[in-house]
């Protein structure tokens, strides 16, 4: 057994450069660990080692030149400091809140993400969640499947999306795609972002509370940073009001989840569509029985087509790095964002 354990900790013996994987990305679970295969580099899989991560990293510190991670795999300053030859971190996600950007910037380590690959999928999903909450699609599905149609009174009416006032928090690539889709429903669109965008016709609100006061629905599309953590709390939810709907396809901790749960239970807002949660994969048990909440397991970005694009982008970034060529989707670290957009 000791020999087997020792072998698991050893990297493959060839001349290809090493890419460290601390935790397998979701694509590995779907397509297998050859999904990001390339003849130009090889993976060093820390998650397969029987040894503690710190021991594994100390053993292989001199070999690692790059890291592959995902939204669920943190790349901390402590990890980075153990890897003297680290030059690149590639994440399969659009957000980079799980990477210590300050340490990467200090060390001159490049970061690459998914770029805008997931923007259209996220936008589709956000509008789908909004439609579902307003028209009670998922709740109606349960109503029929439980055999209640023939035994109870008429099903409660929903609300139309057309003509609603919708506020977008973070008018970046995802938020812009959301706005384009809502235009087809003749929605009145407003937004909050780092700054006003002269090129768009939508109303700009520099304050999220003011945005919420003037909206029937809020769609969260911003990046998670120290500034946006719990950006949506009691004050914003109260401003949204009892007829308001909130949709989150960004990051769970942007919303104060405890406050959201209480607002939903007390019907202080109309409903919520949530693809992300504050402590994933744990979901507040109170939400499970609420028909005014539609939930999904952080899969707004998951389509077959986008994952294939992701494969090409991830492999392309590593191959470019090891060939001393420009990265395909570099993330600038000099301007750490307040909001996405």
Residues with catalytic annotation?
251, 280, 298
Beta bridge partners of 294: 273
Give the start-end residues of each E strand in 149-295. Answer: 165-169, 188-192, 203-204, 217-220, 245-248, 271-274, 293-295
Residue 312 CA to residue 9 CA, distance in Å, equals 28
**Cα separation, 136 vs 158, whole angstroms:** 6
Of 17, 66, 13, the residue nearest 41 (C-alpha): 17
Q: How many CB atoms lie within 10 A of CB 217?
A: 27
Give kind and range of the element (H or E) at residue 89: strand 88-91
The closest of 306, 317, 282 to 27, measured between CA atoms, is 306
How far is CA 9 from its chain centroid? 31
Neighbours of 66 (CB within 10 A): 25
Which 3 state secondary structure label does DSSP give 21? strand
Q: What is the Cα–Cα distance from 216 to 120, expressed in whole angstroms?
A: 23
Question: Backbone phi, then psi, for 209, in 5-degree steps?
Answer: -65, -45
Give the residue among 121, 72, 96, 85 at the shortest CA–CA distance from 281.
Answer: 72
| Token reading at 333 | 């670290």
Half-sphere exposure of 34 (CA within 13 A, CB side): 1
Q: How far, in Å, CA of 335 to CA of 54, rounded?
A: 31
């Amino acid at each position: 057994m000791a020999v087997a354990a020792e072998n698991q900790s050893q990297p493959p013996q060839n001349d290809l450069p090493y890419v460290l994987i601390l935790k397998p990305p979701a694509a590995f679970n779907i397509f297998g660990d050859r999904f990001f295969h390339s003849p130009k580099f090889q993976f060093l899989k820390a998650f397969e080692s029987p040894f503690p991560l710190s021991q594994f990293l100390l053993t292989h510190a001199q070999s690692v030149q790059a890291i592959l991670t995902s939204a669920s795999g943190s790349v901390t300053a402590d990890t980075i400091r153990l890897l003297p030859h680290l030059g690149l971190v590639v994440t399969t996600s659009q957000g980079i809140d799980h990477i210590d950007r300050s340490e990467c910037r200090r060390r001159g380590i490049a970061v690459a993400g998914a770029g805008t690959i997931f923007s259209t999928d996220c936008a589709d999903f956000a509008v789908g969640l909004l439609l579902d909450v307003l028209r009670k699609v998922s709740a109606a599905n349960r109503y029929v499947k439980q055999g209640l149609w023939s035994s109870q009174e008429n099903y409660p009416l929903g609300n139309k999306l057309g003509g609603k006032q919708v506020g977008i928090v973070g008018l970046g690539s995802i938020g812009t795609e959301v706005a384009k889709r809502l235009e087809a429903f003749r929605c009145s669109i407003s937004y909050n972002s780092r700054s006003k965008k002269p090129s768009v016709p939508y109303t700009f609100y520099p304050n999220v509370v003011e945005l919420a006061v003037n909206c029937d629905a809020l769609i969260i599309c911003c990046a998670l940073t120290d500034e946006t953590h719990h950006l949506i709390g009691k004050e914003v939810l109260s401003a949204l009001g009892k007829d308001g709907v909130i949709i989150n396809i960004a990051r769970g901790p942007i919303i104060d989840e405890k406050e959201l749960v209480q607002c939903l239970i007390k019907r202080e807002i109309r409903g919520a569509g949530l693809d992300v949660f504050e402590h994933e994969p744990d979901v507040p048990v109170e939400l499970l029985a609420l028909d005014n909440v539609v939930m999904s397991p952080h899969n707004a970005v998951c389509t077959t087509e986008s994952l294939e694009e992701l494969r090409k982008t991830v492999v392309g970034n590593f191959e470019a790095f090891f060939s001393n060529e420009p990265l395909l989707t570099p993330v600038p670290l000099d301007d750490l964002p307040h909001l996405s957009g």
